[in-house]
Amino acid sequence: MLAQTKAELTWFIYCRKSTEDEEKQQLSIPAQIDELKQFAAQNHYRVKEILTETKTAKVPCRTIFNQMLRRIEAGEAQGILSWHPDRLARNAVDAGQIGHLLNTGKLLDLKFPSFWFEKSPQGVFMLNMAFSQSQYFSDALSVNTARGLKAKCKTGWFPGMAPHGYINDKLHRTIKVDPKNGPLITKMFELFSQDNLTIKATAKKMFALGLISRTGIAFKPDEVKKVLTNQFYLGRFYYMGQLWPGKHQPLVSPELFDRVQTVMNCRLRHRHTKTWRPFAFTGLMKCGHCGMSVTAEIKMKQYLYGATQKFIYYHCSRRSKTTPCRQPFIRQHEVDQQLSDAIRSVALSPAEANWFMDRISRDKLGEQKELDGVVNGLNGQAAAIKLKLDRLVDLYLSGEIERDDYKKRKRELVFAKREQEDRILKLQNHPTGWFGPMEEWVKLALSAKKTAEYGKPLRRKRDWLLKTGSDLTLEDKKVAINWPDPWAALTRRRDRSEVGAVSRDRTEGLRFTIPPLCQLS
């Protein structure tokens, strides 16, 4: 084999041009084939087969390339014709495979119209240099591309395809609001936060309003969730694992976005309990003995005179593989009675509810005055930042600071100013964030007695208990409720007829422990 002349060798022509990244400088595959055919004819090389590939050489595991090396090891050919070494390898693994075949004598020669190679120590050294240079070019290109994208992020523009509701302005390389879909995205946030719609129902309603995906169909639930959790619509965006302030126009306010996230998080947390169930209390309780879910079944009793009667029994699902459970059955009316007694224990009387509402009103006035002082202070800070910006512009126009230093300091001041404005807007729109949930809690506690006594159908009691965020267990035919704060405090009242007892038990810190707003809506 080593004694073969170049005319006796059999050659593979290998052509590659990646379609996975931009290689605009390289010849197309047909052009490479024409050049290599002409090169082979001039040198009287015997070509066995022309192999082409459209995968990048930055990473190993190219299918056609690996098959070619295996065929060379099998002796089908002894040489490779290619346009340039970077068509063969741009990573250390592929370069090492070619070097190994050269060292073992299974690959006798390489030829390139645009690069000199001879199978000698000097030639192999120059080939390795070419491979290393190709790899360096790929790595440097990746670094420079990432640097350019990061620089664009620093200027406030997202370096990618704009999400739904925005369009890419290719002329100015910016992002602007889509006049058609932008308002519909804002409407999606509003509907989801106000109308208590599910993600799937929101997608259907937005499709009816004219919002469609890029494929021309209605949004899928995953796409709706992605939109509702994307901070791009707030005027900022994530890129390279970092949050950047954007210059594009926001479509939603911080308050609306936060409200949507609160609603979504609570729905995900209680998703398994909000689905429709054929029995009123399934999915609400767990077995107190083994921790498994409590299920229900219907039993029909046939009387001698021909009539039938239906009974519903609740019992442990007995699915535990580690804890044997033989808890007894309990009839639905017994569960209903125990739940009614538990709900009555946390009911507020009208006098107690009025006392709480009066206290909330007084605290609201006090906090409003405190809020005005905080907002005035933030407005002063924002004005100071604006003054610094004006001075910075004057320094730049007078030539006292360089352009790069000016842009860096301006970006920092603009970002700080936007943060202050967001805080002011959030405080102005939600000056008393805890009062709304507190009032809803009082109303829910006031409705407890009515729910317990007139809770028909039984699902009303179920819905009421879900809003409290309580954990229920069933053991030995007894339903136990683990009330969270502040419901647990109501069960500890010494005298329900005295409003003072309620105030002594729960006024301190009550507003900080109430359930989330979405559980009370």
Chain segment 78-116, per-residue pLDDT in tens: 889 888 887 888 788 888 888 888 888 888 888 888 787
- Grouping H, G, I as helix, E, B as strand and the rest as coil, residue 282 is coil
Boundary (domain end) residue, out of 388, 409, 431: 431
Report residue 497's pLDDT band, with 50, 70 and 90 as the boundaries. very low
Q: Are residues 217 and 338 in the same domain?
A: no
The average confidence (pLDDT) of the chain is: 80
Alpha-carbon distance 79 to 71, whole Å? 11
Residue 148 has pLDDT above 80, yes or no: no
Specify the higher pLDDT residue, 404 or 186.
186
Q: What pLDDT does residue 3 have?
A: 44
- Are 200 and 255 in a shared domain? yes
Rounded mean pLDDT, 309-330 = 90
More confident residue, 82 or 117: 82
Counting residues of the chain whose pLDDT is more than 70, the rounded percentage is: 83
457 and 401 in one domain? no
* Whether the predicted pLDDT of 508 surpasses 70: no
pLDDT: is 133 or 11 the higher one? 11
pLDDT at 197 > cutoff 70: yes
Domain boundary among 99, 119, 148: 148
Q: What is the pLDDT of residue 370?
A: 72
For tokens 């990244």, the residue is 21
Query: Pairing relation of β-strands 478-482 and 471-475?
Result: antiparallel
502: domain range? 285-348+442-520
The whole-number pLDDT of residue 402 equals 84
* 515 has pLDDT over 50: no
Q: What is the DSSP string of 404-448?
A: HHHHHHHHHHHHHHHHHHHHHHHHHH-TTTTHHHHHHHHHHHHTH
With a cut of 80, say whether residue 195 has pLDDT above it: no
CB 146 within 8 A of CB 138: no
Are 358 and 315 in a shared domain?
no
> Collapsing DSSP states into helix, strand and coil, what is residue 393?
helix
Tokens representing 520 are 């009370």
Sequence-ordered alpha helix ranges (H) in 155-249: 182-194, 199-209, 221-228
Tell whether 470 and 321 lie within a shared domain: yes
Give the pLDDT score at 473.
93
pLDDT at 327: 92
Cis status, amide bond into 328, omega within 30 of 0: no
The verdict on 427 and 447 lying in the same domain is no
* pLDDT on residue 278: 60
Residues 209 and 332 grouped into a single domain: no
pLDDT value at 222 more than 80: yes
Assess whether 51 and 120 both reside in one domain.
yes
Contact 445, 353 (CB under 8 A): yes
Mean pLDDT of 58-66: 84
Give me the pLDDT at residue 475, please. Answer: 93
Residue 73 lies in a domain: yes
Among 2-6, 287-291, 371-375, 423-427, where is mean pLDDT lowest?
Answer: 2-6
Asked whether residue 155 is assigned to any structural domain, the reply reads no
Q: Of 45-49, 217-221, 502-506, where does mean pLDDT reach its minimum?
A: 502-506
Judgement on whether residues 135 and 35 belong to the same structural domain of the protein = yes
Question: Do 14 and 112 have their domain in common?
Answer: yes
Average pLDDT over residues 383-396: 84
Look at residue 4 and tell me whether its pLDDT is greater than 60: no
Which whole-number Å values give the CA distances from 206 to 125, 131, 181, 499, 504, in the listed order?
64, 54, 10, 48, 49
505 belongs to a structural domain:
yes
Q: Is the pLDDT score of 276 beyond 50? A: no
The C-alpha atoms of residue 240 and residue 187 are separated, in whole angstroms, by 30
111 domain residue, yes or no:
yes
Whether the per-residue pLDDT at 273 is higher than 60: the answer is no
Summarize the confidence of residues 121-150 as an average pLDDT. 69
Provide the pLDDT for residue 141: 62
Total domain count, the chain: 4
What's phi and psi for 38, nearest 5 deg? -65, -40
Quote the percentage of the chain above a pLDDT of 90. 13
> In sequence order, which residues have a C-beta less than 8 Å from that of residue 242 and are 6 or more positions away?
153
Distance between CA 154 and CA 351 in Å, rounded? Answer: 58
Q: Are residues 493 and 373 in the same domain?
A: no
* Confidence band for 130, pLDDT divided at 50, 70 and 90: confident
Mean pLDDT of 194-216: 83
Give the mean pLDDT of 480-484.
91
The structure tokens listed for 507 are 């006024």
231 shares a domain with 328: no
| Residue 268: band (very low, low, confident or very high) from pLDDT cuts 50, 70, 90 | low
From 372, 400, 431, give the residue that closes a domain: 431
| Structure-block tokens of residue 399 | 């030539």
Both tokens of residue 396?
A: 């730049």
In this predicted structure, the answer to whether residue 504 has a pLDDT above a threshold of 50 is no
Strand, helix or coil for residue 391: helix
Say if residues 511 and 495 touch (Cβ distance below 8 Å).
no
Q: For residue 210, is it left (φ>0), alpha (ψ between -120 and 50) or beta? A: left
pLDDT-derived band at 236 (thresholds 50, 70, 90) equals confident
pLDDT of residue 20: 56
- Give the least confident one: 37-51, 122-136, 259-273: 259-273
Q: Are 285 and 472 in contact (CB under 8 A)?
A: yes
